[in-house]
Amino acid sequence: MTSRHDAEPSATSSRGGGFAALVDRADSVCRGLSHGMIIASGWGILLLGVLVSIDVMMRKVSGRNLGGVDEIAGYLFAVGISWSLAAGFYARSHIRIDALYQRFALVPRALLDLLAIVSLLFVALFLVYSSWLVLETSWQRSSHSASSLQVPLFIPQAAWMCGMVAFALSLTIATLKAGLAFASGQRLAVVRDYGVMTPDEEAEEAVQQSLGRT
């Protein structure tokens, strides 16, 4: 198993050449971007927790509140979700029905994994298009939130759309990378990087997370 895995990258390089190397670099950039975005999302949720705590204490002590915490929470949750989509894809945590998947041989599984990436890419492109329509409408109408904060809606919507764009970009690069790997005979690499996680892999990931290594 190890020798086969070690030999796979050379096969991709020999068939894909410079384009394959470019896709690999783009994939590394997308993975780094998704990691940074999900860290930022986590900090946003922590900030929300601080704001809610302060708001509750102010209500208890003075009977007043900060105002707008519910609205800010909505923005942070929406942006946090969209900014986590790409990281969720790389972590293979998006839900897939795998009742028959594990029973198939390597080649059918690799084909299903490639099909899953392409299908998810179409969903991501639809989300990008839909979020752009929302953002464009808010910008043209100079829409503001119906609250005391009067937040220009294009600001949170632009941040929300950035997550969708990063998601679609990551899936585009993943489609190219998986397609090149499949074409060069690296079906095991496709299943390993984009397939449904096995119970053993899930257990190993849980152990690594408990040790703080992921």
Could you tell me the end-to-end alpha-carbon distance of the chain, in angstroms, rounded to an integer?
A: 24
Domain that holds residue 106: 14-210
62 lies in a domain?
Answer: yes
Mean pLDDT over each residue of the chain, to the nearest integer: 86
Count each helix (H run) and each strand (E run) in the chain, helices first: 6, 0
**pTM for this entry:** 0.83
Opening angle at CA 156, ends 137 and 28, nearest 5: 110
Q: Look at residue 111 in the predicted model and tell me its pLDDT.
A: 94
Q: Look at residue 102 in the predicted model and tell me its pLDDT.
A: 81
Which of 211, 167, 207 lies closest to 33, judged by CA? 167
2 lies in a domain?
Answer: no
- How far are the Cα atoms of 30, 107, 136 from residue 160, in angstroms, in the given order? 17, 37, 13
9 lies in a domain?
Answer: no
Number of domains the chain is built from: 1
92 lies in a domain?
Answer: yes
Residue-by-residue DSSP string for 70-106: HHHHHHHHHHHHHHHHHHHHHTT-S----TTGGGS-H
Which of 36, 46, 42, 156 lies closest to 86, judged by CA? 36
Opening angle at CA 186, ends 180 and 189, nearest 5: 100
5 lies in a domain?
Answer: no
20 lies in a domain?
Answer: yes
Q: Look at residue 110 in the predicted model and tell me its pLDDT.
A: 92
117 lies in a domain?
Answer: yes
51 lies in a domain?
Answer: yes
Q: Look at residue 11 in the predicted model and tell me its pLDDT.
A: 42
What angle, 0 to 180 degrees and rounded to 10, lies between the N-to-C axes of helices 187-194 and 2-61? Answer: 10
Write out the chain's pLDDT in tens, 214 residues: 333 333 344 344 444 578 889 999 999 999 999 999 999 999 999 999 998 898 888 888 887 777 788 889 999 999 999 999 999 999 888 888 877 888 889 999 999 999 999 999 999 999 999 999 999 999 999 999 888 788 999 999 999 999 999 999 999 999 999 999 999 989 999 998 898 877 666 677 766 666 766 6
